[in-house]
Chains A and B, each alone.
Chain A
Amino acid sequence: MSDSQAKNNELVRVDNVEKIFHRGSEEIHVLSKLSLLVPTGEFLALMGPSGSGKSTLLNLIGGLDRPTNGTVTVAGDRIDQLSDRQLAAWRARHIGFVFQLYNLMPVLTAERNVELPLLLTTLTKAQRQKHVATALAMVGLSHRAKHYPRTMSGGEQQRVGIARGIVTDPTLLLCDEPTGDLDRKAGDEILNLLQALNREHGKTIIMVTHDPHASARAARTVHLTKGQLTREAVA
């Protein structure tokens, strides 16, 4: 941890970030001069219309992509300056991802799916087993440990996805439309779970959504339009 982070309790600092994609000769300016601060322990919702750059911003914070200009600092690390290889190791250590379509491995059981990020650590098999059991218990799926994703409902699959996201106890949990593919009831359960992770376990969460019902659960909501953060709302 850097000094400034320790002082300000800021976990994520996005500074003057630009992101330009190239499609053929066409330039797509997705983010322009965007800045954002996220303190440790926050549950932040990132809203905006489809195509506004929410996923792009989340990917920059998660080290899946690099900004065209500007800096991204997470947990004191300037991740916009890391190499691909360094980023991979950094993600494994600091980030938990939750995807809209769960992105589970169909050939693995729930517990094997949850174990995947632990294969990147130095934990022994027994230790991994313990962490997996804890994570599955936190999402309320201990009884489904040996089941395959295809035998589960969407809500259950997403809970496995969340267990996989938190099993390494990451610095930051990034969720890209985690309820986007679920009905209201299953979505609510996921939101309850995320809220509990934030409130009871102190997880810092950034959640992309375009559903106001979902963003209402977050402590703070920021809106993204035309590549810029337009307004903020604190719940």
Chain B
Amino acid sequence: MNAMLNWLAQIASITKFGLMSIPQRRGAVFATVIGIAGVVAVLVGVLSIGAGFRRAMTNSGSADAAIVLRSGSDSEMVSGFGRAETRLIADAPGVARNKDGPLASAELFVIINLAKRSTGTDANVPLRGVEGAAVSVRENLQVAEGRMFAWGKNEVIVGRGASREFAGLEVGSTVKVGREAWPVVGVFTANGGVAESEIWTDAKVLQAAYKRGDSFQSVYARLNSAAAFTEFKDALTSNPQLNVKVLRQSEHYAAQSETLTRLISTLGFIIAFLMAIGAVFGALNTMYSAVAARTREIATLRALGFGSGAVVIALMIESLVLALLGGAVGAGLAYAAFNNYRAATMNWQSFSQVTFAFAVTPHLLVQGVVWATLIGLIGGLLPAIRAARQPIAAALREL
């Protein structure tokens, strides 16, 4: 017990000498800490894009809501239904109801071009036609400014994200739809979900404006419960009059975000990995010079009988402390710079823009610190082993 404590005291005192000598080596130490901070900031920053995008997409749908597409279609873009079909879907078992009837909204959407505020260049924005139940079918959809559009009128409401991202989408301005200009009467929020990137209007009005007859592309339905999904899906897929694909909204959005999140994560890892290699060399260099500067000191301690194991562990601790400091700085920087940073990107499955906020999640912060730890361990190991294996007699001769 006492021997163990004394061994810890050995490690503690060697570590202390190392940490206390940092001011004498502050240049190299500073460079290392900043290098590691850079790796962590970039890693966390890039991954926060993916995390934010995924969050936007998964916030969009809940497990007790479903989306129905024509079978064989991967997205609403290529799906299509007639009025008879959408009615069969809305009346299927499992669909929740209120006094106005089933909570199901048959919808269609077109893509319009609007100028981005940031660059002035045109980008695709979805203009969605919805039915009365649309609001209850979405998660937490609320008109935050102005009012809901009037049914049967050429009016639109605009998602908060779209209104932020594109010019001319404030309440009171107008949107060019075909040859006409439709007034924007409200701005809505949807829990940060994908709907916030869209412009909404009455489905009937949109059908007329785009000469779509009485056709739709999808049906959004709120179910009695998450468990009712199976019943709903089975009823639709076994109905010979229908040829449909039924998805939970949550799954649908998660699938839509997958490609992009994976791309971003891969990219983030590659960049961070390359930077991490650089940071490992920085840490190696710092620790090698720390060992070199303390050759005689370490040799003296070993001459007194301090174990080489204690020397290795103490130097590793020093390296880890520097790395963790860098990791904390990097994670803090990433949090300050990127958390809730607003952006818009192409959703390749719908060929339109999705707005979202970068999310520096606790999980990403932990991941950043883990990377810093690894850099510190790798960068500290070789110098520590060198210090421990130096022949004492030779090291004592050095000045």
Answer yes or no: are A and B bound together in one complex. yes
Q: Are A97 and B303 in contact (CB under 8 A)?
A: yes
Q: Are A107 and B20 in contact (CB under 8 A)?
A: yes
Taking the closest CB of chain B, its distance from the CB of A82, in whole angstroms, is 12
* Residue A119, interface by CB 8 Å: yes
- A65-B391, A65-B393 known; A92 vs B304 contact (CB < 8 Å): yes
Which of these binds chain A: B1-9, B72-80, B185-193, B213-221? B1-9
- A92-B305, A97-B304, A99-B300 known; A120 vs B6 contact (CB < 8 Å): yes
Among B300, B301, B304, B392, find the residue whose CB has the most chain A CB atoms closer than 10 A: B304
* Residue A211, interface by CB 8 Å: no
Residues of A contacting B300 with CB < 8 Å?
A: 99, 103, 105
Mask, B1-25, CB within 8 Å of A = 1, is 0110010011001001100110000
Query: In B41-89, which residues have CB < 8 Å from any A CB?
Result: none
- A65-B391, A105-B17, A119-B9 known; A89 vs B297 contact (CB < 8 Å): no
Q: Are A117 and B304 in contact (CB under 8 A)?
A: yes
Mask, B358-399, CB within 8 Å of A = 1, is 000000000000000000000000000000000111001101
Residues of A contacting B397 with CB < 8 Å?
A: 55
Residues of A contacting B396 with CB < 8 Å?
A: 59, 64, 99, 103
Q: Which residue of B lies closest to A93 (CB)?
A: B305
Taking the closest CB of chain A, its distance from the CB of B350, in whole angstroms, is 63
Query: In A93-129, which residues have CB < 8 Å from any B CB?
Result: 93, 97, 99, 101, 103, 105, 107-108, 116-117, 119-122, 124
* Residue A232, interface by CB 8 Å: no
Q: How far is the CA of A91 from the CA of B304 in the complex (A)?
A: 7
Q: Which residue of B lies closest to A62 (CB)?
A: B303
Residues of A contacting B269 with CB < 8 Å?
A: none
A-B contact number at CB 8 A: 68
* Residue B307, interface by CB 8 Å: yes
Residues of A contacting B17 with CB < 8 Å?
A: 105, 107-108
* Residue A85, interface by CB 8 Å: yes
* Residue B245, interface by CB 8 Å: no
Q: Are B10 and A88 in contact (CB under 8 A)?
A: no
Q: How far is the CA of A192 from the CA of B20 in the complex (A)?
A: 35
Residues of B contacting A117 with CB < 8 Å?
A: 304-305
Taking the closest CB of chain A, its distance from the CB of B18, in whole angstroms, is 9
Q: Are B307 and A122 in contact (CB under 8 A)?
A: no
* Residue A56, interface by CB 8 Å: yes
Q: How far is the CA of A84 from the CA of B399 in the complex (A)?
A: 23
Mask, B254-286, CB within 8 Å of A = 1, is 000000000000000000000000000000000
Question: For chain A, what secondary structure do more than half of its interface residues adopt (helix, strand, loop), or is it mixed?
Answer: helix
Contact residue range for chain A? 20 to 34
Residues of A contacting B147 with CB < 8 Å?
A: none
Mask, B297-327, CB within 8 Å of A = 1, is 1001111111110000000000000000000
Q: How far is the CA of A161 from the CA of B297 in the complex (A)?
A: 13
Q: Are A116 and B301 in contact (CB under 8 A)?
A: yes
Q: Are A56 and B2 in contact (CB under 8 A)?
A: no
Residues of B contacting A90 with CB < 8 Å?
A: 305
Among A62, A92, A93, A107, find the residue whose CB has the most chain B CB atoms closer than 10 A: A107
Q: Are A120 and B296 in contact (CB under 8 A)?
A: no
Q: Are A56 and B393 in contact (CB under 8 A)?
A: yes
Q: Which residue of B lies closest to A58 (CB)?
A: B393
Q: Are A120 and B2 in contact (CB under 8 A)?
A: no
Q: Are A122 and B393 in contact (CB under 8 A)?
A: no
Q: Are B392 and A119 in contact (CB under 8 A)?
A: no
Q: Are B2 and A119 in contact (CB under 8 A)?
A: no
Q: How far is the CA of A116 from the CA of B296 in the complex (A)?
A: 15
Q: Are A88 and B302 in contact (CB under 8 A)?
A: yes
Q: Are B392 and A64 in contact (CB under 8 A)?
A: yes
Q: How far is the CA of A89 from the CA of B17 in the complex (A)?
A: 21
Mask, A161-172, CB within 8 Å of B = 1, is 000100000000
Q: Which residue of A lies closest to B9 (CB)?
A: A119
Q: Which residue of A lies closest to B296 (CB)?
A: A103
Q: How far is the CA of A50 from the CA of B391 in the complex (A)?
A: 21
Q: How far is the CA of A90 from the CA of B397 in the complex (A)?
A: 22
Q: Are A59 and B6 in contact (CB under 8 A)?
A: no
Residues of A contacting B9 with CB < 8 Å?
A: 119
Residues of B contacting A88 with CB < 8 Å?
A: 302, 305-308
Q: How far is the CA of A214 from the CA of B391 in the complex (A)?
A: 29
Partner of B13, one of A56, A62, A119: A119
Q: How far is the CA of A117 from the CA of B308 in the complex (A)?
A: 15
Q: Are B393 and A64 in contact (CB under 8 A)?
A: yes
Q: How far is the CA of A88 from the CA of B306 in the complex (A)?
A: 7
Give 18 A-B pairs besides A64-B393, A101-B399 with Cβ atoms closer than 8 angstroms: A62-B303, A64-B303, A64-B392, A88-B305, A97-B304, A105-B17, A107-B16, A107-B17, A107-B20, A107-B21, A108-B17, A116-B13, A116-B304, A119-B6, A119-B13, A119-B306, A122-B6, A124-B2
Interface residues of A (CB under 8 A from B): 55-56, 59, 62, 64-65, 84-85, 88-93, 97, 99, 101, 103, 105, 107-108, 116-117, 119-122, 124, 164
Q: 3 tightest CB-CB pairs across the interface, nearest first?
A: A92-B305, A107-B20, A122-B2
A-B contact pairs, 9 of them (CB 8 A): A55-B397, A85-B307, A99-B300, A103-B296, A103-B396, A119-B9, A119-B306, A122-B2, A164-B304
